[in-house]
Every structure is written in structure tokens, then in C-alpha cells.
Structure 1
Amino acid sequence: MSQPFESPDPSTPSAPSAPPAGDGAVPEEGLLSVDEVIDIVDEDDHVIGTSPRGEAYAQGLRHRCAFILARDPSGRIFVHRRTARKLVFPSLYDIFVGGVVGAGESYDATALREAEEELGVSGLPQPTRLFKFLFAPESGPGSWWSTVYEVRVDVPVRPQVEEVAWHDFLTEEELERRLTEWEFVPDGLDAYQRLARWRKEG
């Protein structure tokens, strides 16, 4: 599970005061989204069927996800810790909001829906699509096509308590420090590193 939380450096006034990541215990209500039906895709990202989300994860079926980097008007990045109820990577930190593409849904529709739902806002502009990649975890079955987006959030956020246990907007410098101190979800970390390379090459 995640590393024990270490207090932020007092010399950095704007550093977040995140809570401990916890032991990952799942509340009585159980895991989220197990029965949600999602599209299953092939190695070229063509839809070849559908499956309940829980079964897709258990069987390692390839599916689709949308990752949205949310920035406030100052350019700071929304960072959060996932709740223990999340079906994958519970209680870990994440740099993106987003989620799995539902059956018959487009990446773009998923990006806007998930951003508004997880941030607890409405009326966001359509997130800007940046690039797509196939993520395959180093351990465990399955892989997922992942499209990365960015969106600016000009209104106060009210993240879903079912999805987000803690949140803050961090500068890129603060985030770089936290990458070495907190345990982040592997797909989001991979997406963030790819985004840095994409911007450098672009």
C-alpha cells in the first residue's frame, strides 16, 4: 500500500497537508462500479465486445480510459488521493481525474463527464485531447488504451467523497517533490511522464 505520510517541509508554505494514505480498508458499502458495463477493445483500440467492469478487471480484458489533467486559473494541477472504495489502486494518489469509458461512449464524452463528476462542477469546457497510449501494468493482467486530456477549472471544486479522499491544487514544482514522497497510481504516473515528454517533443 502507500508509504506513510511525511509532513510537508515547513519552508514551503504552499505545500499541501495531505492526510495519511490509510490502510486501504474498504467500507461496508463495498467497491464502486463493479457492474458498470464497459467496452472491450483489441490491440488497435477497436471495440470487440462489452463486459461488466469487475469481470473485465478480473479477466484482464483490454478496455479504454480517459485521463484529464485539471488546472486552476493559476496553472496549478489538481492532485488527489483515491478512496479505499475504488476498484483499482485504492487509497493511492493521482494526478489525473477520469475513468473508464462506458459501453458505447466516446473518449471525449467520458473526459467531460468524468471531469465534472469527480471535480463536482458543471459547465466545464470540453477537455482538450492531447495524445493516446496503451498502458500495460508491470504486474497483473490486462491493459487499457488511455487518452490524455487537459482542462482549465475556473470555479471552486467539490470533489465526490465517494471518489476523492483528499485533494489540493499543486504547482508543478510541488508536484515534482511529492512524486518522490507519495505513492501514485502507476497508470497516472506513466501518463504524467509521457505528458512531460510529449510537451518537450512538441
Structure 2
Amino acid sequence: MGAQDEVLDVVDGEDRVVGRAARGEVYARGLRHRCVFVRVRDAQGRVFVHRRTGTKLVFPSMYDMFVGGVVGAGEAYDDAALREAEEELGVTGLPRPTYLFKFLYEGDGGQSWWSSVYEVRCEGPVSPQVEEVAWHAFLTDDEVEHRLTEWPWVPDGLAAYQRWKAIRPEGRG
């Protein structure tokens, strides 16, 4: 089964399940679904940043400061956050990501998904999926801020980042 065949819950404006469809159909028809975003920091507090591969269905070859992806049909946000973080980082045994907040992302062209945002610390080395990640590095908060105007970032990740910045306690990275 390919990524386009993965079955997702279709949800309404209140994040209630109203149906199910294959990912390819969800994207083609602009159906609202669920996603998770996980902000990953290493032992030194740096943020995992990566460039998506050119084969991604959404936002190919763009940079992201979160790992994550779609929530499968019947899957809980918390479970999807851990699964996606371990898959994309190529690690096992991560602590369960800490839930931060949820928002409805509404992008250009009718894109819309409920986005649950988390954070987790990854103490060991990473080995990102080559199908998902074309380049990666751990960057300081200042380095991320500096590159916001230099690199093409995924718009949903930027929306999550702006919300994260607005709610984080001062001095906490």
C-alpha cells in the first residue's frame, strides 16, 4: 500500500469524524483531515530542521522545523505524534511527545487540516527516512529565526511555529 492509499479520517470544522477516505482522495478533493507536528530538540537544545524530499505529496522540497504527518483513520493524535517522530527521525524509544496545542490550518487553495502540535527531546543520533528527508541538521533557535527569510518553509509549519512562539514562556526553548 502506497502513501496515497493510506486511509484517513475526514473531519469537520469542530474536528469531528464525518467519514474516511484514502490520502490521495483527501488531497485531491481538499478534504479536512488531521495532522501532527512535533518540534524535536537534541540534548543541546537545538531544533531538528529538515528539507522535505521532492517526491512528497504536499510541500515537496521545502524546509520544515517540525516532523510529523497525517493521523491515520482511528488513530489518536498522541499515538500519531510518537509514530511520526520515530519514523521520520529513524529512532525508537523516544519519550511520548508533550502536547502543546491544536489549531485548524487553512492554507491557500482550500487546504485545511486540524494540526496538533507537540514537542519532544531526542537525546541520541538520528537517521532520518531518505523517502521523507533530503537534508537535516540541528539548529539553534537563532539560526532558525535567521533562516526564516532565506529558505522556502512549509506554510503549515510556519503557522504552527508562529503560534508556538506566541504561547511559549519566555526563556523556554
TM-score bracket for the superposition, by shorter chain length: over 0.9
Query: What is the deviation of 1:200?
Result: 4.8
How is 1:19-58 mapped onto 2 (pairs within 5 angstroms)?
Answer: 33-58=3-28
How is 1:1-202 mapped onto 2 (pairs within 5 angstroms)?
Answer: 33-137=3-107, 139-200=108-169
Q: Which 4+ runs in 1 deviate beyond 3 A? A: none
Amino acid at match of 1:122: T
Which blocks of at least 5 consecutive residues in structure 1 are unaligned?
1-31
What's the secondary structure of 2:81's corresponding residue?
Answer: helix
What's the secondary structure of 1:177's corresponding residue?
Answer: helix
Higher helix share: 2
How far, CA to CA, are the matches of 1:80 and 1:148 in structure 2? Answer: 17
How far, CA to CA, are the matches of 1:120 and 1:160 in structure 2? Answer: 6
Q: For the pair shown, which has the larger CA radius of gyration, 1 or 2? A: 1
What's the secondary structure of 2:5's corresponding residue?
Answer: coil
How far, CA to CA, are the matches of 2:12 and 2:111 in structure 1? Answer: 11
TM-score (ref. length: structure 2): 0.96
How far, CA to CA, are the matches of 2:156 and 2:63 in structure 1? Answer: 11
TM-score (ref. length: structure 1): 0.82
Amino acid at match of 2:113: W
Q: Name the count of aligned residue pairs.
A: 170
Query: What is the deviation of 1:142?
Result: 2.8
Give me the CA root mean square deviation.
1.3
Which blocks of at least 5 consecutive residues in structure 2 are unaligned?
none
Is residue 59–residue 141 contact of structure 1 (8 Å, CA) maintained in 2? no
